[in-house]
Amino acid sequence: MERIAAMSSRVRPLFIALALLSAVAIAHSQQTPAPAPQATAPEAAAQAPEPAAAAPDAADEARRATVLATYEGGQVTVADLEDTLGRQSPFMRQRYKDPEELTKLLDKTTRFALLADEAERRGFGKSDQVDQAVKQNAVQLLMKREFDEKLSPESIAEEEVSSYYQEHLDEYQRPATRRASHILVATAEEAKALLKEATEADLRGFRKLAREHTLDDATKLRGGDLRYFDDKGQLRGEDVASIPKAIAKAVFALEKVGDVAPKPIKIEGGYSIVKLTGNRPSVSRDKEQATETIRVRLWRTRRQDAIESFVAGLKAQHKPSVKAELMDAIVLEEGPAVSGPGIPKDFPGSKPPELIPQEPTEAAGEPGAAAPEAR
């Protein structure tokens, strides 16, 4: 690193000199010469056409070829630094107007060149991993040039945004909804006898009670879950109320999730004990508020459609033939068992294979085992 730092100190004067030369060249190019008198038609005809001067291109090539840093076996040029800058966003490039920041970038570029050359000398450039990384980067560049630079959220017309908003109005204008579970029993006496236990139970315990006691066959297997509904008892996506109004009124009177209505609710078919299990506030977003979200959603869909169409064209052109029936020849090596926070218990490799058949537990064989909560 001392060598690189010393190199940087030698390069700094050269770089500043180059910057001054560039400034002089720009100033010179901005001096507008006095207009020459117009030649007459005969004079113009007599003048032989001169080829366009190639000096600016040659001068620019010479400028980009200027060596900013050297090391044994390689060098870093103005072109290397400019290409590095060109790969950054316009916002990030602004910081390199500071000569000190630009010098730091030169140091980093030289450091990277040293490492890249060393990796090449050791043969890493010919590894399968490098080949795969090159292909992945090439595909990313193809995606950028073919799709991302041609399609953008801004390319979505205002009419498309308005149409989507109206077709999906329930996503942007939605009343407050609540979720509840209930236990339906036949008589008030049964309900009162069960109310204390139901009030003290957590959600898991309440659903267990529902599977054991409820008369509501529609919700029995899901532990009495009524799903989300509004204050009129209407489930989302339905045009008519499905939940008894008395239950809806009682649920919306509860203050916090986990509360149980203080007394059983008389409905058709018996008495219901109700527990609040979820709360979703109302949603109200006008088109202006939702526009950017809609544009991005439509753009992603259009971009994906364009990619699928592009790939379909490649398949039609190159006619790939896939022999899936031969995949049995693939050997998958068993990796070491993995475990830890965030690793699902059934994640592949999270535990060794069971060699001895296990007897099903009571919970596993229970017909009313809790199902995933509907959303």
Q: pLDDT of 267-287, one tens digit each?
A: 999 999 999 999 999 999 999
Write the pLDDT tens digit of every residue in 80-104. Answer: 999 989 888 888 889 999 999 999 9
Query: How high is the pLDDT of residue 338?
Result: 59
Please give the Cα distance from 182 to 260 (Å, whole number). Answer: 9
The contacts of residue 368 (CB under 8 Å, 6+ apart) are 211, 220, 221, 223
Query: How high is the pLDDT of residue 40?
Result: 43
Please give the Cα distance from 375 to 363 (Å, whole number). Answer: 24
User: 3-class SS at 113?
Assistant: helix
Mean pLDDT lowest among 98-112, 251-265, 355-369 = 355-369
Query: How high is the pLDDT of residue 349?
Result: 54
Is residue 134 pLDDT above 50, yes or no? yes
The contacts of residue 276 (CB under 8 Å, 6+ apart) are 178, 179, 180, 251, 254, 256, 257, 258, 259, 260
Query: How high is the pLDDT of residue 359?
Result: 43
- The residue written with tokens 């000096």 in the block is 55
Q: How many CA atoms lie within 13 A of 75 on its CB side?
A: 11
Query: How high is the pLDDT of residue 343?
Result: 59
Query: How high is the pLDDT of residue 17?
Result: 38
pTM: 0.51
Residues paired with residue 173 on neighbouring β-strands, in sequence order: 284
Measuring CA to CA, how many Å separate 284 from each of 45, 166, 175, 261? 75, 13, 8, 29
In this structure, what token pair is assigned to residue 224? 């009495």
- The mean per-residue pLDDT over the stretch 250-261 comes to 96
Residues paired with residue 260 on neighbouring β-strands, in sequence order: 275
> What single string gives the DSSP state of each residue in 176-198?
-EEEEEEEEESSHHHHHHHHHHH
Please give the Cα distance from 4 to 207 (Å, whole number). Answer: 69
Tell me which residue of 249, 308, 241 sits closest to 274, measured CA to CA. Answer: 249
Please give the Cα distance from 328 to 330 (Å, whole number). Answer: 5
**Confidence grade of residue 55 (pLDDT, cut at 50, 70, 90):** low
Write the pLDDT tens digit of every residue in 178-213. Answer: 999 999 999 999 999 999 999 999 999 999 999 999
Domain ranges of the chain: 1-28+60-123, 143-174+287-319, 176-281
What one-character DSSP code corresponds to residue 16?
A: H
- The mean per-residue pLDDT over the stretch 28-47 comes to 42
**Confidence grade of residue 258 (pLDDT, cut at 50, 70, 90):** very high
Domain 176-281 fold is: Chitinase A; domain 3 (3.10.50)
**Confidence grade of residue 4 (pLDDT, cut at 50, 70, 90):** very low
3-state helix, strand, coil in the chain (%, to 5): 55, 10, 35
Please give the Cα distance from 309 to 319 (Å, whole number). Answer: 15
Q: How far apart are the first and last CA of the chain?
A: 58
- The mean per-residue pLDDT over the stretch 257-265 comes to 96
Alpha helices in 155-286 (DSSP H): 158-167, 169-172, 188-200, 203-213, 217-220, 245-253
Write the pLDDT tens digit of every residue in 302-314. Answer: 999 999 999 999 9
Query: How high is the pLDDT of residue 341?
Result: 59
Number of other residues whose CB lies within 10 A of the CB of residue 180: 27
Query: How high is the pLDDT of residue 164?
Result: 96
- The residue written with tokens 């009419």 in the block is 159
What one-character DSSP code corresponds to residue 241?
A: B
